[in-house]
Structure 1
Amino acid sequence: MTSLNLEKKLVEDYVLESLTKKGWVYKKPEELSRDSLDEPLLISNLKQKINEINKDVELTEDDFKKVLSELQTAFSDQNGHKKILSFYKYGVPIKTEKERVVKYIQLFDYKNFTSNEFIVSNQFSFYGKEKIRLDIILFINGIPLVNIECKNPYSEKTTYFDAYKQIKRYEKTVQELYKYIQIGVGYAEKVRYFPIVPWLDDVKQELWRWEELKEEDAIFEMLSPFTLIDIVKNFIFMREFRGEITKVITRYMQYRAANKIYHRAVDYINGKTNKNKGLIWHWQGSGKTLTMIFAAHKLYFDLGKPTIMFIVDRRDLERNFLTN
């Protein structure tokens, strides 16, 4: 092993160690329960968690096959990505065998995040149009959600951008895997995350900040089990903007501000505080409109779909809401 490869492996090991400290369970590639190298899902893990999470529904083997079929037959185009993300957020609608009514089968437990299974693995091989091997992959309940590609931070020949381009290339050549994955991370001399959008040649890469942590450690706050599952439910969306369909993922200041709004409202409603308002400072271009939309979505679904009003004082802000 060359010194450059050794340094890259040390980076990969550091990422794995940091993730396990946050609550991820490490499994070697050969320990993963996979049906084949061209199947992205850990089907036995997914089946077990679906049965545990949906205890109020009497699910049969055929019911699980219906859920699995909905996932596997979703196309890897824009509509397929929209469909998969909807399944993640709201569940997979199927007509159950015994009750003969449509039920939304939940893939993740959003009420009790510790009930979910969080697995991290590395050197994950997958066969698509070409054989690839991912540096690091994160699964929740057997579903791959995050891909981290590492580069040697001390190399003058490679940067985090090479990791980003590598994931962008994988998106197109192994689409059956990346229709499930929502977030890519390039980890090198810089650390940047971005949404998985295979039909766009380029997407914006973001830096996650957290308190006084350096960027190489702040990303693990974003990828902690609680935060990641919160992001999947409330902070990542498909968006049509200026005729272009893309995927929006929260920036660090939007995530913190939206959750401040959420907790202030919930605590007031539950009588835990008499504070019923607040002021959030965002700089120009920081995504204030999306902050409000993220907060409204979380409040809407957690508080029984109340009426939420947005009050703006300029026409251009109104247009921003309509286009977002």
Structure 2
Amino acid sequence: MSNIGDKERVTQNRVVKLLKNKLGYEYLGDFQDRSSNANVEVELLTKWLLSRGVTQVLITKALRELDQASAMGQGKKLYDANKAVYKLLRYGVKVKADVSANTETVWLIDWNNVDANHFAIAEEVSILGENKKRPDIVIYVNGIALGVIELKRSSVSVTEGIRQNLDNQKKDFIRDFFTTMQLVMAGNDTEGLRYGTIETAEKYYLTWKEQNPEYNPKTDEKDAKYLNPIICEGGDNALDCAVLRMLDKKRFLALIHDFIVFDAGVKKTARHNQYFGVQAAKEHVKSREGGIIWHTQGSGKSLTMVWLAK
């Protein structure tokens, strides 16, 4: 069993319960003593693809493409491997049953129907690399590890969890495990949840704020624009509310599909204001209406335009 501290254990138990009972993730178990842990759980992915009507021949070929994309040999950087994997996740794997067959696309994630995917979590996931490490919670979609959370007790700063994530991505530890990872997170009860992507520097980790859907800029005070970060349905602290809001299945996939960019060697994801701004702009585009997204200096205007275009 896990040997993490009692206070962190309480926090982790509660977050696991939220993901299971409130957000509908399947609990795979405590993987501390499991020797076959990987960022692609082949059995789970194969089972899901078979349920979608994909033939075993195409599954074998798609798994080979995914394995080659995530391989870290010959001086390949984590950024490059992660980018190659992301391309397969977002656009599907192009394969042929045989040399004379037409090219087919094997979709590893159903982006159009969130509920058609298999969302699962495991805790204390022991990974063998240059040195053995054990992320607190790993999020899998169809058997592919797409998110990781490091949790700390309230008296330990979230920055410690961020630094732990960064250390884990080094060659000396479990860098290869992060080739499939899309959101990298750390949290505690008082500071909430901070998030980034692979190799995000500590100072660039972001804090999620939930936009108030009832907010009216013409009549409401400015501080009413966002919901209370520590009070929400199903949660009563900053960590619980951030987990419930950010890791909702639909939003989790939306953040990965629509709000990831690889920019000159740096992988980036969206701030909360960019996410809500783009989502609102998309609705205006659909109805052929114009509009304005207000930005302050340095708030990410260029990336907002990129994500809206995507």
TM-score over 0.5 for the pair: yes
CA gap 1:97/1:249 in 2 versus in 1, 3 angstroms = same
| 1:284 alignment partner, SS class | coil
Amino acid at match of 2:164: Q
Residue 284 of structure 2 corresponds to residue 264 of structure 1: yes
Which residue pairs with 2:174 in the alignment?
A: 174
Larger RCO (alpha carbons 8 Å, 6+ apart): 2
| 1:185 alignment partner, SS class | strand
Query: Does the 8 A contact of 2:31 with 2:125 survive in 1?
Result: no
Name the CA distance, whole Å, in 1 between partners of 2:6 and 2:56. Answer: 46
Write the mapping of 1:141-220 to structure 2, written as runs, cut at 5 A: 141-153=142-154, 155=155, 158-172=156-170, 173-188=173-188, 189-190=190-191, 191-197=193-199, 204-210=204-210, 211-214=227-230, 215-216=238-239, 217-220=241-244
Name the CA distance, whole Å, in 2 between partners of 1:257 and 1:61. Answer: 42
Query: How far did residue 235 of structure 1 move?
Result: 0.5
Which residue pairs with 1:239 in the alignment?
A: 263
Which residue pairs with 2:299 in the alignment?
A: 286
Q: TM-score when scaled to structure 1?
A: 0.78
Query: How far did residue 218 of structure 1 move?
Result: 2.3
Q: Is the deviation greater in 208-217 or in 113-122?
A: 208-217
Query: How far did residue 24 of structure 1 move?
Result: 1.6
Name the CA distance, whole Å, in 1 between partners of 2:100 and 2:48. Answer: 21
Which residue pairs with 2:56 in the alignment?
A: 61
Name the CA distance, whole Å, in 1 between partners of 2:298 and 2:243. Answer: 22
Query: How far did residue 52 of structure 1 move?
Result: 3.6
| 1:147 alignment partner, SS class | strand
Residue 36 of structure 2 corresponds to residue 41 of structure 1: no
Which residue pairs with 2:247 in the alignment?
A: 223
Match of 1:255 among 249, 256, 275: 275
| Residues 164-223 of structure 1: CA deviation (Å, up to 9, x unaligned) | 1111111122122110112111112422111112xx765611000112232421243111
Write the mapping of 1:15-30 to structure 2, written as runs, cut at 5 A: 15-20=15-20, 21-29=22-30
Name the CA distance, whole Å, in 1 between partners of 2:196 and 2:38. Answer: 24
Query: Does the 8 A contact of 1:128 with 1:174 survive in 2?
Result: yes
Amino acid at match of 2:275: Y
Query: How far did residue 70 of structure 1 move?
Result: 1.4
Query: Does the 8 A contact of 1:208 with 1:219 survive in 2?
Result: no
Query: How far did residue 99 of structure 1 move?
Result: 6.4
CA gap 1:31/1:101 in 2 versus in 1, 3 angstroms = farther
Measured on the aligned residues, the alpha-carbon RMSD in Å equals 2.4
Which residue pairs with 2:115 in the alignment?
A: 114
Name the CA distance, whole Å, in 2 between partners of 1:250 and 1:202. Answer: 16
| 1:26 alignment partner, SS class | strand
Residue 93 of structure 2 corresponds to residue 92 of structure 1: yes
Query: How far did residue 18 of structure 1 move?
Result: 2.1
Amino acid at match of 2:48: K
Aligned residues: 273
Amino acid at match of 2:283: H
Amino acid at match of 1:150: L
| Residues 203-256 of structure 1: CA deviation (Å, up to 9, x unaligned) | 61100011223242124311111001111111112111xxxx110101111001
Name the CA distance, whole Å, in 1 between partners of 2:169 and 2:276. Answer: 29
Which residue pairs with 2:127 in the alignment?
A: 126
Q: TM-score when scaled to structure 2?
A: 0.81
Query: How far did residue 6 of structure 1 move?
Result: 1.5
Query: Does the 8 A contact of 2:39 with 2:145 survive in 1?
Result: yes
Kindly, what percent of the aligned residue pairs are identical? 25
Query: Does the 8 A contact of 2:49 with 2:108 survive in 1?
Result: yes
| Residues 264-319 of structure 1: CA deviation (Å, up to 9, x unaligned) | 222x16xxxxxx1122222222112211211110xxxxxxxxxxxxxxxxxxxxxx
Residue 272 of structure 2 corresponds to residue 295 of structure 1: no
Unaligned runs of 5+ in 2: 211-226, 231-237
Query: How far did residue 79 of structure 1 move?
Result: 2.1
Unaligned runs of 5+ in 1: 270-275, 298-324
Which residue pairs with 1:315 in the alignment?
A: none
